[in-house]
Amino acid sequence: MAGDALKVSGLKKSFGKNHVLREIDLTLSEGSVTVLMGANGAGKSTLVKVICGHHRADGGSVTLAGEAFTPVDAADAIDKGVVTVHQSIDDGVIPDLDVANNLMLDRLVEPGHGLFVRERHLRAEAAKVAAAMGIHVDLRARVSDMSVADRQMIAIARAMARAPRVLILDEPTSSLSAAEADRLFALIDRLRGQGVAVLYISHRMSDIRRIADRIVVMRDGAISGVFEGATLDYEAAVTAMLGHRMTDVDVTVQSGTEPILEVSNLSLFNRSQPIDLTVRDGEVVALVGLLGSGKSRLAEILFGLSQPRCGDIRLKGQLYAPRSVRDAIARGVFMSPKDRGSNAVVPSFDIANNMTIPFLGSFSTGSMLKTGRQRACAREMVDGLGIVCQSTGDDIGTLSGGNQQKVMIARWLLEPATVLLLDEPFQGVDIGARRDIGHQIRASAAGRATLVFLAEIDEALEIADRIVVMSEGAIVGEHINGQVDLTALVADFTGTAPATGVSP
């Protein structure tokens, strides 16, 4: 019978008068996967930081394999066998080093390693780690030159090289393709067989159904539900997290009015089937597909970051062929990119400046910034999206991941758009924040065409009027929300349906 790898009892943590953790009890068993769910502000990040030694608890206790566990910092926690792979990918890798050095970095700094590195030995050991993880990349490649998905896998592989007793994964599949996620799940299965306890933070239904032995839900700093057994009740877990059912989402389907965006015979890649797509005024269209399906490529073409192989794009009947992001914005095509940490957030700016940076000219007279008007507009968006902060002058880094994402969405809702492109707008946010973002996008949809690029079907069902499925650069299916045949939608999504061009 499996023993307890890590046990949290009566854990408390407060920041001033804000009680973030309230008598938390949590047990991670050897050879099991516990999924931790919780809305923004529920306390899950603080709980993980206490376990990892970033914060000291105000009360309660933590034991590791029956012994008191009070790490002085993250390095001490790692030495004792508790390893965390954080949601921010670059927290787990050194971008300027190559793959081999990243995989072996922790061994290089171990006491007694010596001053000199045997290059051949280092690369041989790194190759073993990469092979065990199923990573097939050039070990001499610099990590900063690699894709987000490859960086994520390297961060996870680096954690594996430490042979952890407890492994904490924070939204690990948010940047992985289906094949890469399957490799991760296979590794988790092997770790489970080796007796490693895994704490897996995610809200993705597909992840949870694939790997969870148990679901633990946090709400308002306390445990609000524990679900385990042969059948895990995901919907009940969501209800425990939110206080209402997952299906209580009110989407009144809009068919739109006049065509705003018309894509004709557009070829995304060499030898990919051309696509046709029309999106109308007031309509929210979700384009779903796995990594490599072409949805992000389409977003980049529409925003002037890439050029199509052939085909035409029209905005309100006029030919549209942007050569740059500046061209796209000038025509009213705005885009919120995925991977906010690398592509969107300006760490040194406060909330208001992060939110308004593309449109500072609208808040200026000559070289003078009208800060009063800027702050008032930012405050309006803070209220509309439910961004949790003290003021718009707060540093962006003080916000949770979900609230940072809301700021990035607000950035492109400040000014009227002709076409709004949202690439993975729910990446790394909980279901509560997802609904806040979705509500604001739908509430402001009139007057523009809105395209949302997603890798999760359930996210598309919560926000879209119409769901368009992409695979290998082609459109393979279309589904009207409210009339969705889930079997057919899943068949399209998994690539079992023949490719066809689609337009309403």
Q: Please determine, for residue 498, whether its predicted confidence score (pLDDT) is greater than 50.
A: no
Measure Cα distances from 82 to 23, 115, 187, 289 in Å.
21, 27, 17, 35
Pairing of strands 197-201, 368-369: unpaired
Question: What confidence score (pLDDT) does residue 168 get?
Answer: 93
Tokens of 93: 């890798």
Residue-wise pLDDT for 287-308, tens only, equals: 998 777 889 899 999 999 999 9
- Mean pLDDT, rounded, for 360-381: 81
- Mean pLDDT, rounded, for 270-275: 88
Instruction: Tell me if domain 4-242 and domain 249-332+417-504 are identical in fold.
Output: yes
- Mean pLDDT, rounded, for 133-140: 81
> What percent of the chain has pLDDT above 90?
36
Question: What confidence score (pLDDT) does residue 303 get?
Answer: 95
Question: What confidence score (pLDDT) does residue 252 get?
Answer: 85
Is residue 212 within 8 A of residue 232, CB to CB? The reply is: yes
C-beta neighbour count of 358 within 10 angstroms = 14
Question: What confidence score (pLDDT) does residue 501 get?
Answer: 47
Confidence of residue 175 (pLDDT cuts 50, 70, 90): low
Is residue 107 within 8 A of residue 161, CB to CB? The reply is: yes
Superfamily of domain 4-242: P-loop containing nucleotide triphosphate hydrolases (3.40.50.300)
Least confident of 98-112, 149-163, 236-250, 407-421: 236-250
Q: Where are the beta strands (DSSP E) in 295-444?
A: 310-315, 318-319, 333-336, 364-365, 368-369, 419-423
Which class for 131: exposed (0-12), middle (13-18), buried (19 or more C-beta within 10 A)?
A: exposed
Candidate CATH numbers 1.10.1660.10, 3.30.590.20, 3.40.50.300, 3.30.70.100; the one for domain 249-332+417-504: 3.40.50.300
Question: What confidence score (pLDDT) does residue 236 get?
Answer: 81
> What gap in Å lies between CA 314 and CA 321, rounded to an integer?
8
Signed CA dihedral, 490, 493, 496, 501: sign only: positive
> What gap in Å lies between CA 361 and CA 91, rounded to an integer?
34
End-to-end CA distance of the chain: give it in Å, rounded: 58
Dihedral pair phi/psi, residue 225, rounded to 5°: 180, 145
> What gap in Å lies between CA 221 and CA 24, rounded to an integer?
8
Question: What confidence score (pLDDT) does residue 325 get?
Answer: 93
Q: Looking at the DSSP assignment, which residues form a beta bridge with residue 24?
A: 11
Helix (H) or strand (E) holding 386: none
> What gap in Å lies between CA 45 and CA 62, rounded to an integer?
16
Question: What confidence score (pLDDT) does residue 277 get?
Answer: 96
- Which among 94, 112, 111, 115 is positioned nearest to 103, based on CA atoms? 94
Is residue 148 within 8 A of residue 342, CB to CB? The reply is: yes
Confidence of residue 114 (pLDDT cuts 50, 70, 90): very low
Q: Please tell me whether residue 66 adopts helix, strand or coil conformation.
A: coil
Give me the residue spans of the domains in the chain. Answer: 4-242, 249-332+417-504, 346-415
pLDDT averaged over the chain? 84
**Stated pTM of the model:** 0.63
Q: Please tell me whether residue 454 adopts helix, strand or coil conformation.
A: strand
Q: Looking at the DSSP assignment, which residues form a beta bridge with residue 471?
A: 474
